[in-house]
Structure 1
Amino acid sequence: MIVYESLFGNTREIADAIGEGVKETHPDAEVECVAVVDALPERIGPTDLLVVGGPTHMRGMSTGMSRKMGLKAEKQEAENRERPFTPEEGAEGPGVRNWFHDTLPKAHTGTHSAAAFDTRADMRLAGAAANGIARRLRGQGYELVAEPAGFVIEGTEGPLRAGERDRAKAWGAALQVA
């Protein structure tokens, strides 16, 4: 199960690439990419590997406020340039931070594997959400099977930097599925 939060599509694209990598290494695995708004406890429970990712906002995991600010800024920029703007489905709903607090069930320590990733801008002091995601996964009783990974976007809203989708696919292929 790959759970992601995405505002502009970059994190969803990385989640899809990770899923492709897992399927490449484990062809019999059932891989599902799910937006955080659809990641209900009953969907998470029976998974062998939980991969969670989100965008980096204000040097860490997004908040309700940072998501609203990002969407508002993008809508205004789109109006100024007269180009359409369609946020990702669920972008205005709760993000990964809220999901950890409100939805993710506790795992029995050592019985559930997990991994964390983020998308981030390549700029000084941009920070990373993956470390916070990994910390929360461990706090919920999940055992990490890989170091948290970050995938770079151009600017603050993307697109993905050249080669990042391939790097995400390779990272997914290297994940150990129980």
Structure 2
Amino acid sequence: MKATVVYESMYGNTHSIALAIAEGLGSAGAADVVSAQEATRMDLAGLDLLVVGGPTHAHGMTRAQTRHAAVSDSMSRNKGLTVDPSAKGLGLRDWLDSLGPGAGKAAAFDTRVDMPALLTGHASKSIGKKLKEHGFELVADPESFLVSGDSGLLPGELDRARAWGQTLASTLKDEHRPSS
């Protein structure tokens, strides 16, 4: 199986989740992890699975203004947050808008604050919708991984991400298994 996990990350949480998902996918074959910026130079043809995720800002995917605000906020409040090296690059919304027609299997995830989804929203739902608009078939419901109010991953979320990656890999293995 050939898989790629494309992520956008502000403080490294979504990047860490992307790496954990790729570890889980590794049970079925190699999985690359690339930022949205790096993904602009990729040919997605021939992938068995494309997994895409980013942080939830203002009930959905980030925008240039929310990304800028997140970077500024991390510096202005001395919160001890480290800005992910990819944070100043292209965001998922822009990358997804630049995609041409696609085909194949895909899955969507996000990171969001641990509060009721009604209050936070889910970037993964918008990501999944965009993937479908480009011709991809979602193999799983969009998934959220949770961060605390001070922007740290909650305990157990990396393990949950690895397990989700394993589930995605199993789903694809089952689809490729010859019927008896």
Specify the TM-score bucket, using the shorter chain as the normaliser. 0.7 to 0.9
Distance 1:45 1:87 in 2: 31
TM-score normalised according to structure 2 size: 0.87
Aligned to 2:91: 95
Q: Aligned Cα RMSD in Å?
A: 1.5
Counterpart residue number, 1:64: 64
User: Which whole-Å CA distance do the structure 2 matches of 1:135 and 1:158 have between them?
Assistant: 26
Q: Which runs of structure 1 show a deviation greater than 6 angstroms over 4 or more consecutive aligned residues? A: none
**SS of residue matched to 1:60:** coil
**Contact 2:40–2:95 (Cα < 8 Å) also in 1:** no
**TM-score under structure 1 length normalisation:** 0.88
Counterpart secondary structure, 1:160: coil
2:74, 2:82 within 8 Å by CA — same for their partners in 1?
A: no
The match for 1:137 among 131, 143, 162 is 131
C-alpha deviation, 1:45, in angstroms: 2.3
8 Å contact from structure 1 (residues 52, 116) kept in 2:
yes
Q: Which segment drifts farther, 7-16 or 43-52? A: 43-52
Q: Deviations over 1:112-148 (max 9, x none)?
A: 0000000000124011100000000000000000010
What amino acid is the match of 1:33? V
* Letter of the structure 2 residue corresponding to residue 173 of structure 1: Q
Query: d(CA) in 2 for partners of 1:115 and 1:15?
Result: 12
- What is the letter of the counterpart of residue 99 of structure 1? W
Percent identical across equivalent pairs?
40
Listed as ranges, the gaps of 5+ residues in structure 2 are: none
Task: Name structure 1 gaps, 5 residues minimum.
Answer: none
CA distance in 1, matches of 2:129, 2:58: 17
Shift of 1:158: 2.0
Alignment of 1:1-178 (within 5 A): 1-24=4-27, 26=28, 29-40=29-40, 42-78=42-78, 86-102=82-98, 104-108=99-103, 112-124=104-116, 125-155=119-149, 158-175=151-168, 176-177=171-172
